[in-house]
Amino acid sequence: MKRAVILAGGKGTRLRPYTVALPKPLMPIGEYPILEVIIRQLRSQGFGHVTLAVNHQADLFRAFFGDGSKWGMKIDYSLESKALSTMGPLKLIEDLPEHFLVMNGDILTDVHYGEFLDAHAAEDRLFTISAAARDQRIDYGVLKVDGGNALVGFDEKPSIPFLVSMGVYAVSRRTLDSIPPDQAYGFDHLVLGFLAEQKQVTVVPHLGYWLDIGRPDDYERAIDDWPELSKRLVIA
C-alpha cells in the first residue's frame, strides 16, 4: 500500500483574502476542494494511506476528511504544535514506510504520483524531486561584454529555460536522518545539506500540467483551466 504525506499546515497568506475563512488546500476548484482533487488522484493511483501534516485550522481538515473512509482509504493527521516548515513535520510521523510520497496540499497537476513513487523506490533513491520546466523572458536587450567592456554579443529579449520544484517529492526514510527534530526545517535546508554532503538527489522533469495555487492570479487560472484539466485527471 502506497503512503503519502500531504503538507497542509501553511496559513495561505499569499492567497488572501480568499484564505481568511478557509485554508488554501480547501479552496474549491470546480466541484471539489483542491485537496480533495489530490486525495482522489492518489486513491486512483494506488495510495491507500495519507497523512495530513496540519497546523493552521487543523479542525477544518479533520471535519472535512475524517478518517478517509468516504474515499476508500485511510487518512490520519500529524499536528504541529509550532510551524515546522516543509520537511520538519516528517520527524513527527513515526510509522513512515521505506519509501513514501511528500507533497504540498495546494498544487494542481497531472503528474502520475504512483508511477513517480514506484520509479523512485525501484532504484532505492534517497530523494527524488518532480520538476516543471519554465522560461524566464527578459524584457531587455542583453549585452555581452568581455573583460575590457567591448561588446562581444547581443540577445534581444532572450528567454532563459530552467527547472523548478513542483512541491512533489519521493522520499526514503534515510532522509529523516538529515532532518533535525522540533525545529523549522524546509526543503531548501534539506537539499542544500544534501549538496554540501554530496548526496545524490534525482530530479525528474514533468512536461505536463502543473500549477502552484499560491496567489489569487494562480487560483483564478486554476478555476479557468479546470473544465479541460478535469477530463484528463483520474479522480474517481
Residue 74 confidence class, pLDDT cut points 50, 70, 90: very high
Percent of the chain residues past pLDDT 90, beyond the cut: 76
What would the mean pLDDT of 6-24 be, rounded to a whole number?
Answer: 64
Residue 13 has a pLDDT of 47
What would the mean pLDDT of 192-220 be, rounded to a whole number?
Answer: 92
What would the mean pLDDT of 217-229 be, rounded to a whole number?
Answer: 89
Closest CA to 102 of 119, 90, 111, 91: 90
Domain regions of the chain by residue span:
2-131+163-232
Better-predicted residue by pLDDT, 121 or 15: 121
Better-predicted residue by pLDDT, 180 or 23: 180
What would the mean pLDDT of 159-164 be, rounded to a whole number?
Answer: 93
Distance between CA atoms of residues 139 and 136, nearest Å: 9
Per-residue pLDDT reduced to its tens digit, 37-48 = 999 999 999 999
Residue 15 has pLDDT above 50, yes or no: no
User: What's the CATH class of domain 2-131+163-232?
Assistant: alpha beta
Distance between CA atoms of residues 169 and 117, nearest Å: 8
Asked if 173 and 121 count as a contact pair (C-beta separation under 8 A), the reply is no
What would the mean pLDDT of 214-220 be, rounded to a whole number?
Answer: 83
CA pseudo-torsion sign 96, 70, 54, 223: positive
Class of residue 64 by CB neighbours under 10 A (exposed 0-12, middle 13-18, buried 19+): middle
- Across the chain, mean pLDDT equals 91
Better-predicted residue by pLDDT, 234 or 115: 115
Closest CA to 99 of 235, 202, 191: 202
What would the mean pLDDT of 173-178 be, rounded to a whole number?
Answer: 97
List, in order, residues 6 or more apart from 78 with CB less than 8 Å away.
5, 51, 52, 53, 54, 89, 92, 93
Worst-scoring range by mean pLDDT, 66-70, 220-224, 230-234?
230-234
Residue 209 has pLDDT above 70, yes or no: yes
